Amino acid sequence: MRKLPLLLSALTLAGVSTLSAAQSWEALPETAPSPANNPTTTEKVELGKILYFDPRLSSTGTVSCNSCHNVMLGGEDNRSFSMGVHGQLGGRSAPTVWNSAFNSVQFWDGRADSLEAQAAGPVTAGVEMGMKSWDDVVIRLEAIPGYADLFKSAFGEKAVISKDNATKAIAAYERTLITPNSPYDRYAKGDESAMTAQQIKGLNTFSQTGCTSCHSGAAFNGPTMPAGSGFYVNFPTFTDSAYVKKYNLLKDKGRGEVTKNKADDHKYKIPVLRNVALTAPYFHNGSVKTLDEAVRVMAKVQLNKTLNDQEVADIVAFLGSLTGEFPEQTMPRLPSYSGKTITP
């Protein structure tokens, strides 16, 4: 862990005061912690991977978890709004699944307190995977030969196919989606040659601009919080910027949509910055198409600072150093259903 001076100007974001402090630049852990009620096992991860890739968890048999959170890419779909069953579009850009295990809450608005809870949501969301209920999902999985044995292998001989076991398996697989050993990680561990001179300059500019007021920690998604306790900030903070109207940043109420508390309007959890160079377009509404523009917008609407072209280029270079090593992903063989279709 590399100790570097991190000078943070006094700043208040969403009621959170940040004062001058020294902070460590942390490398990303190579494994993610699992909850006591869902320890990670090889069998559970294998079942979770199969479920993650199986489009039969959707009403039309056309949309899987991987459709919107593509692990063959940056963990999302590079669309402003993801496309669900019947070509329907959601209202937010899909966040990356890579390193999502390091989030204390899931979804932009933090409405899921765990990966298990997150895995349950899209399956029965009308504009996403469109199943009427998890009871219907279970009935479908029970009808597919092979799934019963996979659930028993993962959860024991007496295990049944259930929503609880399915979401635990998907979450266990997602906790293996970690991308360590980026140039930044190697630099943080002491390899002076791992980052370019411009990336190091960008790291310093990132810090001095105040970006670390929110994007801190090993995943650059804010301070470590207990599971289920999200770290939220207003976005945008400075609403008089022309960027706010240009990119329609106030249309979505963010966490306020969940809590129905006006004080939570336009608050969001801090997104992971790992592999951010691969996850365009940017922000909750996917309104900004390029990383350099996203940097300009964030500096202005969150910190009320205008960056020059060189500062933007340096920060973008630094953000590129956060692209890690992706564990190899192979497409699983799904349990087959012979002789007839199981979907409409």
Q: Which residues are catalytic?
A: 128
Place of tokens 């699944």: 97
Tokens of 182: 């980026």
Residue 322 contacts residue 276 (beta carbons within 8 Å): yes
Residue 301 contacts residue 241 (beta carbons within 8 Å): yes
3-state class of 318 per DSSP? helix
Q: Is 10 exposed, middle or buried (0-12, 13-18, 19+ CB in 10 A)?
A: exposed
The CA distance from 341 to 334, in Å, is: 14
- What's the half-sphere exposure (Cβ side, CA atoms, 13 Å) at 269? 26
- 53 sits in the region (left: phi over 0; alpha: psi -120 to 50; else beta) called alpha
**Among the listed residues 117, 106, 116, 127, the one whose alpha carbon sits nearest the alpha carbon of residue 255:** 106
Running DSSP on this structure, what letter comes out for residue 242? H
The CA distance from 195 to 204, in Å, is: 12
The CA distance from 240 to 275, in Å, is: 30
**Among the listed residues 227, 226, 178, 174, the one whose alpha carbon sits nearest the alpha carbon of residue 40:** 174
